[in-house]
């Protein structure tokens, strides 16, 4: 009897060890926490699915310390969750975002749609919408209490969705960073195409 129990224990340990090495789909948590699923090779930002790792990385925030910042306006932004238009970087919770889209979306609070109790908010989380009874706007799974930031986030998510659907990876990154794509000869501002003045 004793021996059987030991064997069962060994089997359990082996099963746990094997599953830790095998790659598993993490889309469920990635969708809620802005993660990357190595198994499916897709990332999620505000529940928007993207196949481009470059786009996903362009949207990620990096931790920065105040003393590492040289620009005065960035220093102020770092202390107040603000945006520096000169450097085109935003800060939320001491994290630096090189994308205005990612910066705006980071200002909200990420929610697990399954845990939302209000029916109106739950419906809004499927796309976007403002709930008058909760005074909360949902943009994907991100909640905003401030109406103005919510409106900005709706625009940001629209840009994000367009970028995720873009066939050109460089354009996708350019869309969320107000950059340009030399290949396609286009520049982007707030997710919209602008003409490049360079030939």
Binding site for Zn ion (CB under 5 A): 25, 27, 37, 39-40, 71, 73-74, 84, 86-87, 118, 120-121, 131, 134, 168, 170-171, 181, 183-184
Question: Which pair of structure tokens corresponds to residue 175?
Answer: 């869309």
**Nearest CA among 106, 105, 99 for reference residue 178:** 99
Measured CA distances, 26 to 7, 11, 34, 68 (Å) = 30, 24, 11, 34
Provide, rounded to whole angstroms, the least separation between the CB of residue 179 and Zn ion: 10
Cβ closer to Zn ion: 106 or 130?
130
Cβ closer to Zn ion: 13 or 68?
68
Provide, rounded to whole angstroms, the least separation between the CB of residue 3 and Zn ion: 40
Residue with tokens 């943009």: 139
Provide, rounded to whole angstroms, the least separation between the CB of residue 158 and Zn ion: 19
Cβ closer to Zn ion: 91 or 106?
91
Provide, rounded to whole angstroms, the least separation between the CB of residue 187 and Zn ion: 10
Cβ closer to Zn ion: 3 or 70?
70
């Amino acid at each position: 009897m004793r021996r059987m129990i030991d064997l069962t224990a060994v089997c359990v340990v082996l099963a746990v060890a094997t599953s830790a090495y095998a790659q598993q789909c993490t889309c469920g948590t990635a969708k809620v926490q802005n993660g990357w699923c190595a198994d499916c090779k897709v990332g999620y930002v505000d529940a928007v699915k993207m196949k481009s790792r470059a786009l996903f990385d362009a949207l990620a925030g990096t931790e920065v310390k105040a003393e590492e910042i040289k620009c005065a306006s960035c220093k102020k932004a770092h202390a107040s969750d603000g945006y520096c238009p000169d450097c085109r970087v935003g800060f939320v919770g001491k994290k630096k975002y090189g994308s205005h889209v990612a910066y705006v979306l980071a200002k909200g609070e990420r929610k697990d749609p399954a845990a939302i109790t209000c029916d109106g908010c739950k419906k809004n989380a499927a796309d976007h919408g403002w709930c008058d009874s909760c005074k909360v706007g949902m943009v994907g799974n991100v909640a905003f209490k401030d109406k103005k930031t919510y409106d900005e986030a709706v625009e940001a998510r629209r840009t994000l969705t367009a970028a995720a659907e873009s066939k050109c990876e460089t354009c996708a990154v350019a869309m969320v960073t107000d950059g340009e794509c030399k290949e396609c000869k286009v520049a982007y501002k707030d997710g919209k195409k602008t003409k490049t003045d360079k030939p």
